[in-house]
């Protein structure tokens, strides 16, 4: 049987999550912005190996519980292993969320890098809202790809030589229209949630700026590469065909190939490079009745 796509991405997930947030920022969100002072029951939609729980739980009041649900059976196995010896009350459910009957008993529904992979995100948001009790919260940590692309700087290379924002903007928009899956969903969630009746909706931006330099003694370069930064575009003709099939002109596709090739050749462990993922964190309160 073919492996479920995300089960094959466990290494990718664990090697790239460190690019997004500083822990003090998460602490700030939990304690200062959300003001969570009493234990909460949290459910994480599309939890993967439980990344978001690992970030939030250290700052949540003792007695809080974390439930992760994901379609990846191997991801859920990994999550159980990761949490086994941790001092948190956590449970994991392997299920396709579309088929799952989730009880309305949670104080907070959260998700991280999940809605962008869903072809009907509004229906999924309804499912998230449905499992939250009166005056509970929803918080979605989702990307806005085009701002993430704008926030990449490789020293001594003009950004337009390696990243064509105009073309990417069109590509992301067209892909979203064609598939329903939207890598720019982060900036739309304040609107979606408010239209779904969520109150007091606010949106924040992730804080972390990654700084790679020849003196870095970390695995930042490997994480960035794993995240696709400066990735080799592969063989020329299939790359171009793929872009043309997605609505880009042949000339633009050829130029994009050259840009990505230059990026991949120029970007290495000794590069001076800065980037910010620009994740958008949208949250609000569910009021019933």
Minimum Å distance from CB 20 to ligand SAM?
Answer: 9
**Using rule CB under 6 A, residue 120 touches ligand SAM:** no
Per CB under 6 A, the list member of 98, 130, 219, 242 interacting with ligand SAM is 98
Phi (first) and psi of residue 241, to 5 degrees: -60, -45
Which x/- pattern, by CB under 6 A, does the window 44-73 give for ligand SAM? --xxx--xx-----------------xxx-
Minimum Å distance from CB 213 to ligand SAM?
Answer: 27
Specify the residue, 52 or 132, whose C-beta has the smaller distance to ligand SAM.
52
Specify the residue, 147 or 271, whose C-beta has the smaller distance to ligand SAM.
147
Query: How many other β-carbons are positioned within 10 Å of the β-carbon of residue 54?
Result: 18
Minimum Å distance from CB 18 to ligand SAM?
Answer: 11
The number of residues that bind ligand SAM (CB under 6 A) is 20
**Using rule CB under 6 A, residue 17 touches ligand SAM:** yes
Interface stretch with ligand SAM, choices 96-104, 132-140, 181-189, 199-207 (CB under 6 A) = 96-104
Judge contact between 158 and 139, C-beta under 8 A. no
Count CA within 13 A, CB hemisphere, residue 1. 4
The angle subtended at Cα 154 by Cα 151 and Cα 159, nearest 5°, is 65
Count CA within 13 A, CB hemisphere, residue 235. 4
Specify the residue, 3 or 249, whose C-beta has the smaller distance to ligand SAM.
3
Specify the residue, 164 or 206, whose C-beta has the smaller distance to ligand SAM.
206
Q: Which residues of 192-209 are buried (b: 16+ CB within 10 A; e: fewer)?
A: bbeebebeebebbebbbe
The angle subtended at Cα 237 by Cα 225 and Cα 176, nearest 5°, is 65
140/128 Cα distance (integer angstroms): 10
Phi (first) and psi of residue 175, to 5 degrees: -60, -40
Minimum Å distance from CB 80 to ligand SAM?
Answer: 14
Interface stretch with ligand SAM, choices 31-39, 90-98, 173-181, 232-240 (CB under 6 A) = 90-98
171/181 Cα distance (integer angstroms): 12
Residues 18-47 that bind ligand SAM (CB under 6 A): 46-47
Minimum Å distance from CB 5 to ligand SAM?
Answer: 8
Those residues with Cβ within 8 angstroms of residue 165's Cβ, 6 or more apart along the chain or in another chain: 146, 149, 150
Specify the residue, 72 or 284, whose C-beta has the smaller distance to ligand SAM.
72
57/42 Cα distance (integer angstroms): 10
Give the binding site for ligand SAM (CB under 6 A).
6, 13, 17, 46-48, 51-52, 70-72, 75, 96-98, 112-114, 117-118
């Amino acid at each position: 049987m073919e492996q479920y796509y995300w089960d094959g991405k466990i290494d990718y997930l664990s090697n790239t999550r460190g690019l997004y947030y500083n822990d003090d920022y998460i602490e700030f969100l939990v304690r200062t912005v959300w003001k969570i002072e009493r234990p909460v029951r949290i459910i994480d939609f599309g939890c993967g190996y439980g990344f978001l729980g690992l970030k939030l739980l250290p700052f949540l009041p003792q007695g809080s519980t974390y439930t992760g649900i994901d379609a990846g059976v191997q991801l859920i196995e990994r999550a159980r292993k990761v949490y086994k010896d941790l001092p948190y009350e956590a449970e994991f459910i392997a299920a396709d969320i579309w088929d799952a009957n989730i009880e309305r008993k949670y104080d907070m529904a959260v998700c991280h890098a999940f809605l962008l992979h869903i072809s009907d995100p509004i229906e999924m948001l309804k499912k998230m809202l449905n499992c939250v009790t009166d005056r509970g919260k929803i918080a979605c940590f989702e990307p806005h790809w085009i701002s993430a692309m704008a926030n990449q700087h490789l020293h001594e290379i003009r950004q337009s030589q390696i990243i064509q924002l105009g073309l990417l903007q069109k590509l992301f928009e067209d892909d979203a229209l064609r598939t329903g899956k939207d890598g720019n969903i982060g900036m739309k969630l304040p609107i979606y949630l408010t239209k779904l009746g969520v109150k007091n909706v606010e949106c924040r931006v992730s804080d972390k700026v990654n700084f790679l330099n020849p003196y870095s003694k970390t695995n930042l370069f490997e994480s960035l590469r794993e995240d696709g930064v400066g990735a080799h575009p592969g063989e020329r003709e299939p790359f171009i065909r793929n872009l043309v099939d997605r609505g880009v002109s042949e000339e633009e596709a050829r130029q994009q190939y050259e840009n990505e090739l230059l990026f991949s050749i120029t970007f290495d462990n000794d590069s001076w490079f800065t980037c910010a993922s620009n994740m958008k964190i949208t949250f609000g309160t569910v009021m019933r009745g």
